[in-house]
Structure 1
């Protein structure tokens, strides 16, 4: 007898301690691999390869450096969540529905807000680094 999909989920729920953490780590890596298949996430990940090291040069102290890196990571986190929402909606069905549109639009708005926060933080840090002669 082959296990049903819901039995696999139940098996994960029964795990505890290090076993659960170990398996969750592999699920997380699978999620990152799936995210890499999305153009927007891939673009943000490539940008992070430039921005994260740059944060150590632009940041004036460890708090500012952490904020610069944190906003970059936040964009990627929100993008993954948005992709998860879109994937779940698409799983339900391809037909147009007002609630499906609403969920996808809200996910997109969350990405926009995270990008605005990231951009604003970086612009302020760059201004302080290059635009302030003091």
Structure 2
């Protein structure tokens, strides 16, 4: 049985905000990707594309941020368990990084095709 407090929307929201604040304070990659997302967000609104394509652009843009947040969480948990070099710890971190790489790849490919189609 898990020792988990009763669900509270406001407390859980405050935990999520604390997590975002921590990402912004300590994760350079997240800050860079957030800057890219903020800079490219207006493109979605001004591009002459279907609503479906705009939604795909939005999802892939924020999917990149979500992947970076998950990767940061994986890295923190691995560092909590051991700071010594261990092959499994390295593999876990590498897999987390590959999630970010794949999300960025999907983002770039999706945006290229949609922008190309809209020209």
Is the structural similarity TM-score above 0.5? Answer: yes
* Residues 89 and 115 (structure 1), Cα distance of their counterparts in 2 relative to 1, 3 Å cut: same
Q: CA RMSD in A?
A: 1.4
Q: Aligned pair 1:14/2:2, yes or no?
A: no
Q: Which segments of structure 1 move beyond 3 Å, counting only runs of 4 or more?
A: none
Q: Distance in 2 between matches of 1:118 and 1:14?
A: 37
Q: Which runs of 5+ in 2 are unaligned?
A: none
**Could you report, residue by residue, the CA deviation over 1:101-130 in whole angstroms, capped at 9, with x for unpaired residues?**
110000000100000000000100111122
Q: Which runs of 5+ in 1 are unaligned?
A: 1-8
Equivalent residue, structure 2, for 1:44:
33
TM-score (norm 2): 0.92
TM-score (norm 1): 0.82
Q: Distance in 1 between matches of 2:87 and 2:49?
A: 46
Q: Distance in 1 between matches of 2:96 and 2:85?
A: 16
* Residues 122 and 59 (structure 1), Cα distance of their counterparts in 2 relative to 1, 3 Å cut: farther
List aligned pairs for 1:45-84, cutoff 5 A.
45-58=34-47, 60-84=49-73
Q: Which has the higher contact order (CA 8 A, sep 6+)?
A: 2
Q: Distance in 2 between matches of 1:101 and 1:46?
A: 28
**Could you report, residue by residue, the CA deviation over 1:10-42 in whole angstroms, capped at 9, with x for unpaired residues?**
4xx3324xxx11111000001101111200000
